[in-house]
A and B are shown apart, each in its own frame.
Chain A
Amino acid sequence: DQQVKQNSPSLSVQEGRISILNCDYTNSMFDYFLWYKKYPAEGPTFLISISSIKDKNEDGRFTVFLNKSAKHLSLHIVPSQPGDSAVYFCAAGRGSSNTGKLIFGQGTTLQVKP
């Protein structure tokens, strides 16, 4: 049962344009969400998170939007840079469970072309 899904395995964007990465979830008990970026041969790097009490969180070029009714979140990167090329994972957790368990999507490979 895939509770967190990233339906687009890959995305290609021109440098300077917007990158939009999408993520859907099925468990309405999730109350916080995170995005990680992963380069080959490295561990995932934390990018940005959002609590379920918010619908938007912004940090520099990165903005995460949460639509709870649709059980959908997205990561916007503006402007996209070649160094953003990596695999992006969304993850969800339940703070109320107190286990710290994060459920990850399968990842989306972003390629930003110069």
Chain B
Amino acid sequence: ETGVTQSPTHLIKTRGQQVTLRCSSQSGHNTVSWYQQALGQGPQFIFQYYREEENGRGNFPPRFSGLQFPNYSSELNVNALELDDSALYLCASSLRLAGGTDTQYFGPGTRLTVL
């Protein structure tokens, strides 16, 4: 049991809509990372939040945005949904250590389907 929770479990949206996914970190963790996992692929890094600031970003367009709250929970927002956004969205929490190495613990994911 990792302690990381995500909601909702599944979501169906249509092209052009906006979506918000939510994540609660494991107790004691201060960092949240978001990943997109397409079918048959490994997770791809979207961005990370540390102390409520974006701390690194992968190769995703600006319509992917996020927030981290004082209790270290986080949201991923995706605007103007495209069919290719259909994927499993994973949230991972970690405790940031000196040097930036941190073991990330994943939640169960949100399965997003864009029609």
Contacts and interface: CB of A to CB of B under 8 A. Distances in A.
A44 interface: yes
Contacts of B104: 34, 46, 100, 102
Contacts of A60: none
A85 interface: no
Contact of A100 (B6, B33, B106): B33
A45 B106 contact: yes
Interface stretch (A14-22, A67-75, A76-84, A103-111): A103-111
A91 B35 CA distance: 13
A44 B58 contact: no
Contacts of A100: 31, 33, 48, 50, 55-56, 94, 96, 100, 102, 104
Interface residues of B, number: 33
Contacts, number: 85
Interface residues of A, number: 31
Contacts of A106: 40-42
A97 to B, nearest CB: 6
Given A43-B4, A43-B106, A44-B106, A104 B43 contact: yes
A34 B107 CA distance: 17
B53 to A, nearest CB: 12
Contacts of A104: 35, 42-44
A107 B42 contact: yes
Considering residues B90, B92, B101, which has the most beta carbons from chain A within 10 angstroms of its beta carbon?
A: B101
A105 B42 contact: yes
Contacts of A94: 100
Contact of B101 (A41, A93, A107): A93
21 contacts: A36-B106, A43-B106, A44-B43, A45-B106, A89-B42, A89-B43, A95-B99, A95-B100, A97-B56, A98-B56, A98-B99, A99-B100, A100-B55, A100-B102, A102-B35, A102-B43, A102-B104, A106-B40, A106-B41, A106-B42, A107-B41
Interface of A: 4, 6, 31-32, 34, 36, 41-46, 49, 51, 89, 91, 93-107
The 4 tightest CB contacts between A and B, nearest first, are A99-B56, A104-B42, A43-B106, A95-B101
